[in-house]
Amino acid sequence: MSKNMPRLLLLLPTLSLTLLLGPGLPLSAGGLTDTEQNSKSTATVQAALLNENPYILGAGDRLEIRLFDAPELSGEVSVLNDGTASLPLIGSVRVQGLTLVQAELWFTALYRQQLQRPDLQVRVVQPRPIRVAMVGEVERPGLYSLTTSESSQTEGAGNKISGLPTVVDALQKAGGITLYANLRKVVLQRRLPGDDPAYKRTNLNLLALLQEGDQLQNPLLFDGDTIRVIKADQPVEESIEVASANFSPQVINVNVTGEVEQPGLVNLQANTPLVQGVLAAGGPQTWRANTGNVELIRINRNGSATRQRFRLDLSQGASNEKNPPLRDGDTIVVHRSGLAKTSDAIGAVSEPVSGLVNLWALLDLINKY
C-alpha cells in the first residue's frame, strides 16, 4: 500500500462537516457561511459546534502513537517541516492536513500490512504554535504567533486538544479591544479539513462570556484562524464593565496637561476613571485649577477627535456620564480658574513695568559709586 493518503481519508472531513453543521448552515461559493446569527442562543449553538471542530495536524505537532498489542512500537514522534512523521516499522508517512481520527485510520491501514490486528491510538502530546490573524477593532491588528501549553493532551475520542490558546488569549496578544468594539459580534473564521479550501464563519458574543461566564464564547483557536472584531456605531453601554475585562488593554498611556501638579504622560491601568487619571498627575492645583472645566480629548482611529467636558468630583465613582474610563492615548486638560486667568493677565501686564523698575534701580546704584 502507498504511504500517501488514500482519497477516502480526504473525503472524511466533508462528510464530518455535513453531519456537524447540518443543512441549516450552508457554505457560500467562496467557502464562507452566508448566515449571520445575531441572537445569543444561536451564537451559543455556533460556538458549541466550533469547539467540536477536529484538530488538523501540521508541522511542529508532537504525537504519541500507542499500539496496545505491540507496546515496543509505541512512542512519540514529531511532524517535520515537510509534513511527515517517522513511524516505527513503517517509516516516513505524510500526516499534514489530517485530523486525529483520519491519522488513526491511516496508521491502522499501514500497520495492518505488518501486524495482524493493529489496535492503536494517536494523540497530540504538544500542539504546535499557531498563527492567528487579528483584524477589526483591536489595538494592534496583524498576524500573531501564539504558543501552546506543554501539558496539552487529547480528551474523549481523541479529537479534542486542551492547552490551545483561546479567543481571549489572542485579543490580549493584540493589545485588547478598542472603545468601539462590538463584543456582541466577534467573527471567527476557520478553515475546514480537506484538500479544497473551505471555511466556516462563526459569530461569538463576548459580552455573554463577560456577564454570564459563557465559556462557549471563548473557543480554542486553531492554526490559520482569523478573528474579526466588528465595529459598533457608538461605544457600548457596558463600556465600564468591558474596560475591566482581561481582553481590554492592561496598561494605557494618558497625557494630563493644564493646572495639575505634575503635568505629562502617566501610565495607568486600563479601567482607570478620569478622576484617578488627574490624581495620578499630582491632582489639581489648589486655586489655579477650574475643577468644573476638565476636558477629555480622545483621538479616534479614523483620525477625528472627540471632546467632552466634565466637573471633577474627587468623590465620584466610575460613571460613563460623570467619571468615564480612560483609553490609551487620551488627553486630559484641566483648565484654569477665573482667579488664575486674572492673576496671569496681571502678571503679563506688570512684567515689562517690573523690568523697567529693576533697570532704574540698577542705574541708580551705579551712579552712587
Examine residue 218 and state whether it is found in any structural domain, yes or no: no
Examine residue 291 and state whether it is found in any structural domain, yes or no: yes
Q: Where are the alpha helices (DSSP H) in the chain?
A: 7-21, 40-51, 100-111, 167-173, 206-212, 239-243, 274-280, 338-368
Which of 215, 47, 55 shows the shortest CA–CA distance to 127?
55
Q: Are 85 and 122 in contact (CB under 8 A)?
A: no
Examine residue 278 and state whether it is found in any structural domain, yes or no: yes
Residues constituting the chain: 369
> Which residue pairs, CB below 8 angstroms and at least 24 apart, start in 233-238?
234/180, 235/179, 235/180, 236/181, 236/182, 236/183, 236/207, 237/320, 238/207, 238/210, 238/211
Q: What is the pLDDT of residue 17?
A: 38
Examine residue 328 and state whether it is found in any structural domain, yes or no: yes
Residue 346's contacts (CB-CB under 8 Å, 6 or more residues apart) are none
Examine residue 168 and state whether it is found in any structural domain, yes or no: no
Q: Does pTM surpass 0.75?
A: no
Phi, psi dihedral angles at 313 (to 5 degrees): -120, 110
Domain count, the chain: 1
Q: Are 313 and 322 in contact (CB under 8 A)?
A: yes
pLDDT tens, position by position, for the chain (369 residues)? 555 555 555 554 444 433 333 333 333 334 444 444 444 555 554 554 455 567 889 999 999 999 998 899 999 999 999 999 999 999 999 999 888 889 999 999 999 998 888 899 999 888 888 899 999 988 889 999 988 753 333 333 334 465 688 898 898 888 888 777 888 899 999 987 766 778 889 999 988 888 888 888 988 888 899 999 998 876 656 555 665 566 666 678 999 999 999 999 999 887 788 999 999 999 999 889 999 999 999 887 677 888 999 999 888 877 778 888 888 889 999 999 989 888 887 776 666 555 555 555 655 655 655
Examine residue 283 and state whether it is found in any structural domain, yes or no: yes
Query: Distance between CA atoms of 218 and 167, rounded to whole angstroms?
Result: 5
Examine residue 210 and state whether it is found in any structural domain, yes or no: no
For residue 39, the tally of other CB atoms under 10 A from its CB is 10
Examine residue 318 and state whether it is found in any structural domain, yes or no: yes
Looking up residue 265, the CATH number of its domain turns out to be 3.10.560.10
Q: Are 187 and 164 in contact (CB under 8 A)?
A: no
List the strands of the sheet with 289-299, edge to edge: 264-269, 251-258, 331-336, 289-299, 305-310
State how far the alpha carbon of 258 is from the alpha carbons of 285, 324, 327, in Å.
Answer: 9, 19, 19
Task: State whether the Cα torsion 183-184-185-186 is positive or negative.
Answer: positive
What residues make up the domain containing 281? 251-336
Query: Distance between CA atoms of 79 and 262, rounded to whole angstroms?
Result: 57
Residue 292's contacts (CB-CB under 8 Å, 6 or more residues apart) are 311, 312
Burial annotation 122-161 (CB, 10 A radius, 16+ → b, else e): bbbbbbbebebbbebbbbebeebebebeeebebeeebbbb
Cell readout for 156 is 474523549
Q: 253 pairs with which residues across the strands?
A: 267
Query: Distance between CA atoms of 321 and 187, rounded to whole angstroms?
Result: 30
Query: Distance between CA atoms of 201 and 193, rounded to whole angstroms?
Result: 14
State how far the alpha carbon of 113 is from the alpha carbons of 2, 18, 105, 209, in Å.
Answer: 11, 32, 13, 50
